[in-house]
Copies of this chain bind each other. A is one copy, B any other.
Amino acid sequence: MTVEILEIDSRVLRGNPLGDPHLRRTPVYLPPSYPKGRYPVLFMLTGFTGFGELMVQRQAWSESLPERLDRLIRTKKMGEAIVVMPDCFTRLGGSQYLNSTATGRYEDHVVRELVPTIDARYRTNRRRAVLGKSSGGYGAMLLGMRHPDVFQALACHSGDMYFEYCYQPDFPKAIDLIRKHGGAAKFLKAWEKMPKRMSGNLHAAVNTIAMAACYSPRGKSFDLPFDLATGAIDAVVWRRWKSLDPIELLDRHARDLKKLRGVFIDCGSRDQFALHHGARIFTAKARRLGIRVQHEEFDDDHSSISYRYDRSLPILQRYLSGK
């Protein structure tokens, strides 16, 4: 099993507003026959609070991503591919793989830095797919739609979409907690000192703030999607969020999606964040727009579903192999 961990010195992340590192450790899985041929490349994006290196760590009772790939390839379930695991983590937990003045240029990091770096260092065939779960599924959708020249396929597992269901229900809890600390800045300051960063209602507040930093930045800061004084949703900010919801991105990127060789989307039918509804809404709308989507549901929730990569990895590899 070969995994190289590239230490990428990102130019676009230098001086990023959150003070996050510009040196990024990026694991690259090389398939068994490497370097005998030329290989398609899969970019695997992690979910919120994750980063690429987590995917190569050994876990109790479950395979790391490289172990999974080795097994899939060895048992002929999947063709060979290079798999890159970017690190787009931020102090706020993640970047949604977007460029934002409040977090940094993570979209550029993946598309303009990692893609050419991988092509330069490894024997790729210049075919690429992007995939991920949760926020990584969102990133796959976003990068796939916006860069059909770069990626030829995408897989979105339980990805963030239909923000009315996946984010909005967190707002009341987020407001309560942020108010208690006297505003978002004070909340963040207190939060960075807490030993337990995600217990209780913290997830609602942290996720809402992180998404605001991604979807509604204002210079190096961000607009919250609600009025902290009353709790009412701020229609203007909410419009900005919604314009980045894959459901609405579809309106602008239908033609781009049609260029792809394949779009795979799935979700557990009991997803705690109601993302199965998002996937259904996306699929129905995409099909109305004439886009071919492979949509699946499975009987599970949002947690510990990396076994679904057994489904998407071979499909993406096949899309890229033109089979």
The verdict on A274 contacting B89 (CB below 8 Å), with A51-B60, A58-B53, A232-B162 known, is no
A251-288 vs B, CB cutoff 8 Å, 1 = contact: the mask equals 00000000000000000011000101100110010000
8 Å CB contact of A171 from B54, B165, B300: B165
Tell me the nearest residue of chain B to A192, going by C-beta: B61
A172 to B166 Cα, complex, angstroms: 10
Residues in B neighbouring A195, C-beta threshold 8 A: 300, 304-305, 307
Residues in B neighbouring A307, C-beta threshold 8 A: 195
A139-164 vs B, CB cutoff 8 Å, 1 = contact: the mask equals 00000000000000000000000101
A305 to B231 Cα, complex, angstroms: 23
Contact status B60-A230, CB under 8 Å: no
Residues in B neighbouring A274, C-beta threshold 8 A: 172, 231
The verdict on A231 contacting B281 (CB below 8 Å), with A168-B169, A307-B195 known, is yes
The verdict on A60 contacting B53 (CB below 8 Å), with A165-B171, A176-B270 known, is no
8 Å CB contact of A231 from B93, B176, B270, B277: B277
A61 to B51 Cα, complex, angstroms: 12
Interface residues of A in 299-323 (CB under 8 A from B): 300, 303-305, 307
Residues in B neighbouring A291, C-beta threshold 8 A: none
Contact status B231-A280, CB under 8 Å: yes
Contact status B277-A175, CB under 8 Å: yes
Tell me the nearest residue of chain B to A48, going by C-beta: B60
The verdict on A277 contacting B60 (CB below 8 Å), with A165-B172, A176-B270, A270-B176 known, is no
Residues in B neighbouring A190, C-beta threshold 8 A: none
A307 to B193 Cα, complex, angstroms: 12
Contact status A57-B57, CB under 8 Å: yes
Contact status A229-B284, CB under 8 Å: yes
Tell me the nearest residue of chain B to A232, going by C-beta: B281
A169-204 vs B, CB cutoff 8 Å, 1 = contact: the mask equals 101100110000000000000000001110100000
Instruction: Tell me, yes or no, whether A50 is within 8 Å of chain B by CB.
Output: yes
A164 to B164 Cα, complex, angstroms: 9
Interchain Cβ contacts under 8 Å between A and B, 20 examples = A49-B61, A50-B60, A54-B58, A60-B93, A60-B197, A162-B231, A164-B233, A165-B171, A169-B169, A172-B274, A175-B277, A176-B270, A196-B303, A229-B280, A230-B277, A231-B274, A231-B277, A231-B280, A231-B281, A232-B277
Taking A61-B197, A172-B274 as known contacts, 14 extra A-B pairs with beta carbons closer than 8 A to each other, sorted by chain A number, are A51-B60, A53-B58, A60-B93, A60-B197, A162-B231, A164-B233, A165-B171, A165-B172, A165-B231, A169-B169, A175-B277, A196-B304, A230-B277, A231-B274
